[in-house]
Amino acid sequence: MYSIVDIETTGSNPTDDGITEIGVCVHDGEKIVKEYSTLINPGKKIPRFIVGLTGITDKMVEDAPSFEEVAGEIFDLLKDEVFIAHNVGFDYNFLKEAFRRTGRNLNRKRLCTVRLSRSAFPGLPSYSLGKLCNQLGIDAPDRHRAFGDAKATTILFDKILKTEGSVIENALKSASKEGRLPPNLPKERFLRVPQTTGIYYFKDEKGKIIYVGKAKNIRTRFLNHFNGNSKIKIAMQRDTHDIDYVETGNELTAFLLESNEIKKHWPKYNFAQKRPFNAWGLYKYKDNQNVTRLFIDKSNKHKRPIFLFNTYSDGRNFLWSITKDYGLCPKKNWLQSQKTDCNKSVKTGSCYCVGDMTKGAYQKSITQTLKSITGDLASFIIFGKGKTPHEKSVIIVKDGKYMGFGFVENKIHYKRINSYLKCIKKYRNTTEAQAIIRNYLYFNEPDEFLGNVPIYFNKK
């Protein structure tokens, strides 16, 4: 038995929006054996654009039952049936959340008629319900109303049942994953995704990258993206038409490549790293007394920064921190007005700017500070697992700058860091890349040295 369902809602977020109407057709594999339809009072205003789409107004649902009042009847109707909808993730997740609030757990096998139609009627220009109805000659006079769409979906399901082959039988197999895949993603695109470590890309119908992620097991992580009913997950499931991937061999290179690709493609569903990057830098210069002074300034390709920051505030806070920690002069580091006494001299009565420290001593203090804060980002190499058993990954940081990563055969053992530089692909030296590498160094010690260059062997 199959329950073909359609709902209308006040929006696209199951946790915030409400259901305004539901239609259900119970099908025994040959014909409809039961029908159900009701308006539902969502307990909130229906947005104007939803009214325009569905025709359902606040006045129409004013005296309609709440979902809680009809939940038991609907739950029994769906009991032990295969749950079917056009873009099943939307309807199923909305109802699952609505049932959860009434103390019920909806846990049914699911089929998506978008996906079933792609298998049963390959090569059509569109698989939206309206376009399918036009293309397959399905009469659907009451579009965008729950029972009208449920009835149209049932007729579509009937046509799928009558096609040659075992489309539905195969889709119901536990290993098929059909019910968990985005409706617009061809199954063959999913099947090519490996169960290896790397990064992956979600693409929309025009091939534009809308999300970049990383995973130890790309295929498993991909499926887990669509568990849950958040607004973002539902939107991303709807917009995903294709998936691509790059194997990286290990998690560290996956972290670095993911960060680079988010900056490069600016995907609409990546939020954490979508912000201006490397806009500011920590710089040094020698003044007319030949004393090194530190300052924060906008990033410039003609100047080499000591560190990079996403915001001026981040850079200034960092400079204040090292100025205090290493006893430097706030005025000399341009943290205070040159016309006032610096904080250090006011608090302790001593500072280079008031003449109680020699130029040589202060310069030595600056040199030691720079050595201390850049010591963990000198030149080094991190080797790791490659994409195949016969290769290894190579990450290179030279003179404090992240250069990039690549892959070389296991048998290759160069004696100079510059030789390995020829084997890598260069990537941006971003603050995110620096943070990823610093985090790795925090938990690891060098395994050996190539001359005076530390070598790390990443085992993850």
- 151-182 in b/e form (b: 16+ CB < 10 A) is bbbbbbbbbbeeeeeebbeebeeeeeebbbbb
The two structure tokens encoding residue 311 = 């915001």
pLDDT at 149: 95
Identify the CA nearest to 211 among candidates 268, 276, 274, 273: 268
pLDDT at 228: 65
Question: Is the per-residue pLDDT at 179 higher than 70?
Answer: no
**Cα-based angle 70, 74, 78 (whole degrees, multiple of 5):** 170
Tens-digit pLDDT profile for residues 65-82:
999 999 999 999 998 789
Residue 356 pLDDT level (bands cut at 50, 70, 90): confident
CATH topology for 2-180? Nucleotidyltransferase; domain 5 (3.30.420)
When pLDDT is averaged across residues 34-47 and rounded to a whole number, the result is 95
Q: What is the DSSP letter of 415?
A: S
Is 2-180's fold the same as 187-265's? Answer: no
pLDDT at 176: 57
Residue 326 pLDDT level (bands cut at 50, 70, 90): confident
Residue 273 pLDDT level (bands cut at 50, 70, 90): low
Residue 175 pLDDT level (bands cut at 50, 70, 90): low
The two structure tokens encoding residue 223 = 């499926």
Domain-wise residue ranges, the chain? 2-180, 187-265, 280-374, 378-457
Average pLDDT of the chain, as a whole number? 88
- 34 vs 316: CA distance, rounded Å: 69
187-265 is classed CATH 3.40.1440.10:
yes
Identify the CA nearest to 35 among candidates 202, 151, 204, 174: 151
